Amino acid sequence: MRLLSLLLTVSLTLALAYYIYIPLPDAIQQPWKLMMLNAYLRTAFHVASLKQWLGYDHHTRSLLQFTFGFEGILKEFLSSESSAGAVPGVKVSDITFAGIPVRVYEPPAGGEGHLRRGLMYFHGGGWAFGTTKKGSYDITNRMVSDELNTVVVSVEYRLYPDAHFPVPYLDCLAAAKHFLSPEVLAKYSIDPDRVAVAGDSAGGNLAAAVAQEISVDDSMSVKFSVQALIYPVLQALDFNTPSYLQNQYIPLLYRTNMIQFWLQYLNIDLSLMPEFFVNNHSALQHSSLTPELRSRLDWNVLLTQKYKKNYNPVIVEKGSEGFLKKVPSLLDVRAVPLLAGPEVLAKCPRAYILTCEHDVLRDDGLMYARRLQDAGVAVTSDHYEDGFHGCFSLTSWPLEFDVGKRALRSYLNWLQNNL
């Protein structure tokens, strides 16, 4: 009986270790902590998929019950109440800007005659998850507000499955225009020459797209002076860039997940996912994807050899006929900011772009930095050789990573010196 119990215990332990363990690059520090977090998220996905298959609920709503992202794990440790205690002087208000729910963080300093910085933040989560009202986003925005004497506005834009493109973008744009109005800036004592827009991952996509639109809108008397993009997702036409292939199985964002997020955002049938894996959706036969447009995301030109490595471009002659005509949003710069023309990029504010070596989105950020620089925009590229997707939000116990703390501090320092 003892032998049977021992064998059962050993078998279960080995099974658990097999489920948790994934090979990771040597550069990633604290690998087992990352594996444990990844196992939790994979389990959440599996349970949500099972619930949908059984007809209980949409898998995305089920994942929200796990408070998907990092807030679900951190909520017992990093609740809004505990973070409020960490920065007691910051005033927090949940209101609306142009009908869009936002959370406003006001620093203790300032007041009449003391103009402050302003920053609008768009959270990540694949346009499907996340909130800035809990966990790491809430803590980071409080830190920015307190340390940098900044009025921070985080936007609760609508999410999938209740909303598809362009709804999240339009929510963010409406909130941004309201924030930049002279009346609102004056109300919060914000210096109109020191207003930033920022976001991570899908939020970086929204921040880049909103910054482009505001930059070319002549009706706006006040525009963003800087933009900070944290591992932004910027294109959906090539899922065979070196970083997509190199990091396709590296947590916390797999290649499969990112393609699925794009299809959900653009309201494309998920059964078409195989077409995207092999770039059939951007085949040469699509006349609407002109050579000039292709050059705007040609990583063979825009990336240095360090990042191209030994990968070769995946270019398909004939793919899915009429695909881009059926899904025009794939060429819409509001969804795909990397496709913006040089005349638009030239008007964009100076930028901070953070990228991670072990992230499928690495090359999106690097290509955008290069294109902005080619257009004459000052860009600070902040690359982390030991970084992975999501590390920027992993800065507090029990899920603190050294690379996350370094990335957060670099972001704060850049805003301190450039905003």
Is residue 171 part of the annotated active site? The answer reads no
Give me 380's structure tokens: 């600070």
User: Pick the catalytic residue: 83, 201, 320, 396?
Assistant: 201
CA atoms within 13 A on the CB side of 208: 33
Q: Collapse the DSSP code of 381 into the 3-class scheme (helix H, G, I; strand E, B; otherwise coil) and give the result.
A: strand
- CA gap 287, 291 in Å, rounded: 9
Q: In this structure, which amino acid lies at residue 264? A: Q
Q: Which residues pair with 102 in a beta bridge?
A: 95, 155
Q: How many CA atoms lie within 13 A of 385 on its CB side?
A: 3
Work out whether strand 116-122 and strand 190-200 pair parallel, antiparallel, or are unpaired.
parallel
User: Would you call 147 exposed, middle or buried from its count of C-beta atoms within 10 A (0-12, 13-18, 19+)?
Assistant: middle
Report the distance separating Cα 256 and Cα 252, nearest Å. Answer: 11
Whether the CB-CB separation of 176 and 203 falls below 8 Å is answered with no
Confirm whether pTM is higher than 0.85.
yes
- Alpha-helical (H) ranges within 98-179 are 135-147, 167-179
Is residue 125 within 8 Å of 159, Cβ to Cβ?
Answer: yes
Q: What is the CATH number of domain 55-419?
A: 3.40.50.1820
Quick one: the chain helix, strand, coil %, rounded to 5? 45, 15, 40
User: 206 with 157: CB under 8 angstroms?
Assistant: yes
For 291, the enclosing helix (H) or strand (E) is: helix 291-295
119 DSSP β-pair partners: 152, 196
Residue 359 among the catalytic residues: yes
Is the peptide bond preceding residue 161 cis, with omega within 30 degrees of 0?
Answer: yes
Annotated catalytic residue within 171, 215, 389, 393: 389
Annotated active-site residue 358? The verdict is: no
Please say whether the beta carbons of 206 and 224 come within 8 A: no
Written as tens digits, the pLDDT of the chain (419 aa) is 666 665 555 445 445 555 778 999 999 999 999 988 888 887 776 665 666 666 666 656 656 655 444 444 444 444 444 444 457 789 999 999 999 999 999 998 654 558 999 999 999 999 999 888 888 999 999 999 999 999 999 999 999 999 999 999 999 999 999 999 999 999 999 999 999 999 999 999 999 999 999 999 999 999 999 999 999 999 999 999 999 999 999 999 999 999 999 999 999 999 999 999 999 999 988 889 999 999 999 999 999 999 999 999 999 988 777 788 889 999 999 999 999 999 999 999 999 999 999 999 999 999 999 999 999 999 999 999 999 999 999 998 888 999 999 999 999 999 999 99
What are the structural domain ranges in the chain?
Answer: 55-419
Which amino acid appears at position 402 of this protein?
A: D
Catalytic residue among 171, 238, 359, 386: 359
H/E segment holding residue 49: helix 31-53
